Structure 1
């Protein structure tokens, strides 16, 4: 075999290494028509330099667009996140690691066990443990919030780490209509750290340190402008204990956003709602006001109005969290007042409409209430007529006129009076009837016998 043949053979083997049947068909075609060997070699080179590089970049699913002029974008195949070529290169480069933790259970943006890595260049990313490809991640400068909260309603104590990038909090939309980046959520069991290593391969974890505290410490050491936030007794504790662990405090409140059930956590930097997509984090600086609606005997709704910090001129957006248990009303109200969040429960937009039934009778007051002069005067006229009619009825009413009636029948008012004073008046009626009977008998007795 000549050198040229060996050369194109190596190129074809590398290009079609994952498809042995296609590689065999290429070699069969070359044997049949050797003159086409250069063509197949060019196809193999194109596959190596273009198709595979595109597939490698497509494995990145969460990269926040950088500030400033937007560089040329490459569409990611997962459908809703884009990444710049510069960011993609930094995310996937074979850089030294500061730490890595194997067998981490991710739930967002994909549900899979992956290796969590922090590179020396400041990238937090997740690597596929089989293919060794980087699945998703972003630079620490793009991280806005990180929360670590207990997972509710689990038999064994677990923690969810939620890493929320800029424009991925569900409140602030990304600029220029770009797709919003997704958050990262993974779960850590409460116990000693497992398969956690430094960049040099040394096991991580001090004596008595849990996996949750280890990850929290490592993240805090590498985050630039934020820190990991955890629930705090001084902020909020649910009035109801943890359902599956009765001896532990619960820091969550069950709520619904539309038809999606989730959990609210009232933290020192804002209110977090998770864990189903889309996650929402209401930072204090984004909250316009908070109000209570649909307050019933057992549940109430919490309405959070937000104003985007990226677009202050936009109209506030309102989020309704419904079906919250009344047992937690006092704790939530204390939290809202403690952080000075405006309570808009009695805002003008939420007040019952005034129909001006008992409005002032002067026209100036009617106009001040926002009603039209013509409509207002009709309402006042009807009200005055009703009041005048009532006054006339009160003036004509004479309580003593009931006993002076000459009619043989009784009115409805007399019937009512008879019912109220049934005992006493019954006796008087009995006496009158007896007297009438005696008069009739007496008149008959005085008549001659022939006329009786």
Structure 2
């Protein structure tokens, strides 16, 4: 009871003051509860100390403090440091504190950051950890992963694989709902060969069975933890390039080189969609987002592939067109077969792409053409008719005056520009003759003028 008297007198309790210094309303409720039930004071103090310890641990790992529940709208997704987003502050704590199932050191990442990190898999997250600071850099909830692709890296002497993890709203086509954010796509590279730095939670090395590769190990472990998808790999039954892998002789290539604007990348035609990688932004056209496909600028050696995609949460008005240019003509047949096999609409001859037809040289043997011509004749005015007849008469006179032996020059209706050019040519030739010939030329010109007067 003495404690209650002290509390009612306003004497602060240190543990509660420290725990709820930023939450005065909650602190008041705690004091009120202690005032009504002083026997529970030790319990509230223990809860306050525990809250302070959580706050201290969060501060040491740069974690946001979990806010108390409110009656307001649901908390928006928040970015964690240098990486992808997670749904709530509580999820942020989970992605950092979830126990590790296995991890692989010295993994080279290209997205969302270009650096070497430790790849970690937990029960609910795929995350990365800085190897120097030991801090979690970014992560993706396993249940948010929509597409997982394992692809050979093109144009490398040593065989490597790129793992492309595409979470929801990170395909480059469908944007997250307004006011929210989404995890970025993740791309990391694994060399072909045994896993040299893969470990279980206890620190025991794994993936060292005979013939087991790091690529196969990571695919297996991630497939076991992703609830909504499994890894997709290239399949020659889907598409294989007409040009083999130049840097690894005898090996088939499953990509075609293409440009999006000035950005060079690779197109992979897979069983679940078309990927353009490995530059930012990564684009993945799953079949349910492809509205149509078309070919443009088909030349002798190259052609362009155009994909019109519709966001999953959008309408036809939100359609976007993506053009991939300078694709080798040798791959046209394989790409066209892939598009037809998967029933992707070929809109190469769609109305928007067809050349506009103008009725300039339309045939006049149809009834409509004859009617239009008759109507035009009736509407011709007398002045227009007289002008047309005069022009026709002049054309006939020009044909009668035409002399085939005059080097193609017609007399009669010559243009003023032709006369000026003839005069300039005469003066130029006159300057090149000698002084002794000038008189002879003048005499000839004079005689021609007299002949003209006589006529």
In the alignment, does 2:276 pair up with 1:273? yes
User: What do residues 412-434 of structure 1 show as CA deviations (whole Å, max 9, x unaligned)?
Assistant: 35889xxxxxxxxxxxxxxxxxx
In the alignment, does 2:328 pair up with 1:325? yes
Displacement of 1:361 in angstroms is 6.4
Displacement of 1:261 in angstroms is 0.7
User: What do residues 336-362 of structure 1 show as CA deviations (whole Å, max 9, x unaligned)?
Assistant: 111111000000000011111144769
In the alignment, does 2:96 pair up with 1:92? yes
Mapping 1:84-163, distance limit 5 Å: 84-95=88-99, 97-120=100-123, 122-163=124-165
In the alignment, does 2:258 pair up with 1:251? no
User: What do residues 173-214 of structure 1 show as CA deviations (whole Å, max 9, x unaligned)?
Assistant: 111153453111110001111111233333222320111111
User: What do residues 195-244 of structure 1 show as CA deviations (whole Å, max 9, x unaligned)?
Assistant: 11233333222320111111111111111111101111101111111121
Distance (whole Å) between structure 1 residues aligned to residue 114 and residue 368 of structure 2: 64
Q: Give the TM-score of the pair, scaled to structure 2.
A: 0.66
Whether the 8 Å CA contact 1:253–1:263 is kept in 2: the answer is yes
In the alignment, does 2:211 pair up with 1:208? yes
What 5-or-longer segments of structure 1 have no aligned partner? 1-10, 12-44, 59-68, 367-372, 397-401, 417-452
Distance (whole Å) between structure 2 residues aligned to residue 57 and residue 191 of structure 1: 40
Displacement of 1:277 in angstroms is 0.7
What 5-or-longer segments of structure 2 have no aligned partner? 1-17, 19-51, 66-72, 408-455
Q: Give the TM-score of the pair, scaled to structure 1.
A: 0.66
Distance (whole Å) between structure 1 residues aligned to residue 365 and residue 281 of structure 2: 54
Distance (whole Å) between structure 2 residues aligned to residue 139 and residue 277 of structure 1: 21
| 1:61 aligned residue | none
Displacement of 1:322 in angstroms is 0.9
Mapping 1:360-375, distance limit 5 Å: none
Change (3 A) 1:94 1:218: closer
Whether the 8 Å CA contact 1:195–1:203 is kept in 2: the answer is yes
Distance (whole Å) between structure 1 residues aligned to residue 365 and residue 85 of structure 2: 63
Change (3 A) 1:54 1:198: closer
Whether the 8 Å CA contact 1:290–1:343 is kept in 2: the answer is yes
| 1:351 aligned residue | 354
Mapping 1:372-387, distance limit 5 Å: none
User: What do residues 78-107 of structure 1 show as CA deviations (whole Å, max 9, x unaligned)?
Assistant: 498565212201101142x22211111111
In the alignment, does 2:92 pair up with 1:52? no
- Partner secondary structure for residue 229 of structure 2: coil
Whether the 8 Å CA contact 1:76–1:83 is kept in 2: the answer is no
| 1:8 aligned residue | none
Distance (whole Å) between structure 2 residues aligned to residue 151 and residue 75 of structure 1: 30
Whether the 8 Å CA contact 2:258–2:327 is kept in 1: the answer is yes
RMSD in angstroms over aligned alpha carbons? 3.6
Whether the 8 Å CA contact 1:164–1:183 is kept in 2: the answer is yes
Alignment coverage as a number of residue pairs: 335
Whether the 8 Å CA contact 2:86–2:141 is kept in 1: the answer is no
| 1:294 aligned residue | 297
| 1:41 aligned residue | none
In the alignment, does 2:263 pair up with 1:260? yes
- Aligned with residue 403 of structure 2, among 390, 412, 425: 412
Change (3 A) 1:362 1:210: same
Distance (whole Å) between structure 1 residues aligned to residue 406 and residue 365 of structure 2: 43
